[in-house]
Copies of this chain bind each other. A is one copy, B any other.
Amino acid sequence: MKISLNKKILDKNEECALQNSEFFADNNITCLNVISSPGSGKTTLLSRTIVDMADTTKIAVIEGDIRTDTDAKKIRKTGAVAIQIETKGSCHLSAQQVTGALASIPAAEMDLIFIENVGNLVCPSDFELGENLRVVVLSVPEGDDKPIKYPGTFAKADVILINKIDLIDHIDFNLERVIADIKAVNKEAKILQVSATTGTGMQDWYSWLSKNK
């Protein structure tokens, strides 16, 4: 009985993920599911991306958090459309929640839709939302052991952003080790070093986005 219940829940998520995926294809939208620990700098990264790409790319953001709409408010300050999903305790976004969010914004007009998942390096990784691409953000202060400790999450990424690279001189962080550990579980992913605060490396990120949209 336990197995059949789990199956049913998974199927509902998969069904909605497929529906979302078809919506993105029909409307020529690239959707990116952004996964990281709490505090890796996802919202700052997306805010800067929206502003810097504003001339060429229409971007909306779906924000996921346990509580508060602070991230959606931050994104809206850039002028972009943002909608907040409060998961009320759940540790990840579901595809159903994304379907609902897409229906309440002018999604079809967008070029890129970012889904900023709940800050959690474990659970969101197991739930497809219908996205085209998966982004994992690892910030320097989190430490250089995260790829070996959370290999499943890094293995599924299309691009991995090593953020807060401006703090590297203040922190014991072995960049070569991180890159080697990522490559051990994921040879395909693009790895970029960025600082969403200072702007370092952000052009590489925009180029990658432009190539993949």
Binding site for B on A (CB under 8 A): 1-2, 5, 37-39, 41, 65-68, 70, 89, 91, 118-123, 139, 141-143, 145-146, 148-152, 164, 167, 170-171
Contacts and interface: CB of A to CB of B under 8 A. Distances in A.
B164 A141 contact: yes
A139 B141 CA distance: 9
Contact of A38 (B5, B70, B146, B171): B146
Given A37-B142, A39-B146, A119-B149, 19 more contacts: A37-B37, A37-B38, A41-B143, A66-B122, A66-B149, A66-B150, A67-B149, A67-B151, A68-B148, A70-B145, A70-B149, A91-B91, A91-B120, A91-B122, A118-B122, A120-B122, A122-B123, A141-B142, A141-B167
Instruction: Specify how many copies of this chain sit in the oligomer.
Output: 2
Main secondary structure of the interface of A (DSSP, over half): loop
Contact of A170 (B118, B143, B148, B170): B170
Given A119-B149, A120-B91, A122-B91, A39 B5 contact: no
B150 A67 contact: yes
A58 B29 CA distance: 58
Contacts of A118: 122
Nearest to A89: B152
Contacts of A37: 37-39, 119, 142
Contacts of A149: 38, 65-68, 70, 119
Closest 6 CB pairs of A and B: A39-B142, A141-B141, A91-B122, A39-B143, A37-B38, A37-B37
A125 B38 CA distance: 15
Given A120-B121, A122-B120, A148 B67 contact: yes
Contacts of A89: 122, 152
B2 A141 contact: no
A164 B152 CA distance: 27
